[in-house]
Structure 1
Amino acid sequence: MHPSDDIRQFRTLFLSDVHLGSKAAQADLLIDFLRVHEAETIYLVGDIFDGWRLKRSWHWPQTHNDVVQKLLRKARKGARIIYIPGNHDEVMRGFPGQHFGGIEVRVSDIHHTADGRRFLVMHGDEFDVVVRNARLIAYLGDWAYDAAIAINSVFNRVRRALGFPYWSFSSWAKLKVKNAVSFIGAFETALAEEARRQDCDGVICGHIHHAEIAERAGIQYVNTGDWVESCTAIGEREDGSFELIRWTRPVSVPTTRRRQGSVPLGVPALEEAA
Structure 2
Amino acid sequence: MSKSVIVSDLHIGDMSDADDFYTSGNFEKFIAFLEYIEKDEEMEKIIIAGDLFELWQCKVEKILQMYVDLWKVLLKLKETGKKIIYIPGNHDSLPFAKLVYKAAPFPFGPIQLTDKYDIDEKRKLIFPYYCEGNLWVEHGHRFDIYNRDVSTLAGGSKGVH
Residue 20 of structure 1: aligned partner: 12
Residue pair 1:28, 1:63 contacting (<8 A) in 2 also: no
Q: Deviations over 1:111-135 (max 9, x none)?
A: 33xxxxx121111111112145344
Deviation at 1:62, TM superposition (A): 7.1
What are structure 2's unaligned runs of at least 5 residues? Answer: 115-127
Residue 31 of structure 1: aligned partner: 31
CA distance in 2, matches of 1:87, 1:29: 24
User: Taking structure 2 as the reference length, what is the TM-score of the superposition?
Assistant: 0.65
1:54 equivalent in alignment to 2:75: no
> Which is higher, the Rg of structure 1 or of structure 2?
1
The SS at the match of 2:9 is coil
User: Taking structure 1 as the reference length, what is the TM-score of the superposition?
Assistant: 0.40
Matched positions, count:
125
CA distance in 2, matches of 1:71, 1:19: 16
Give RMSD over aligned pairs: 2.7
What are structure 1's unaligned runs of at least 5 residues? Answer: 1-8, 113-117, 143-274
Residue 123 of structure 2: aligned partner: none
> What letter matches 1:86 in structure 2?
G
Residue pair 2:74, 2:110 contacting (<8 A) in 1 also: no
Identity among equivalent pairs (%): 30
Q: Deviations over 1:70-109 (max 9, x none)?
A: 1122112211111110011113423243122342111212
Which residues in structure 2 correspond to 1:92-103 (within 5 Å)?
92-93=96-97, 94-95=99-100, 96-103=104-111
The SS at the match of 1:28 is helix
Deviation at 1:36, TM superposition (A): 1.3
> What letter matches 1:121 in structure 2?
V
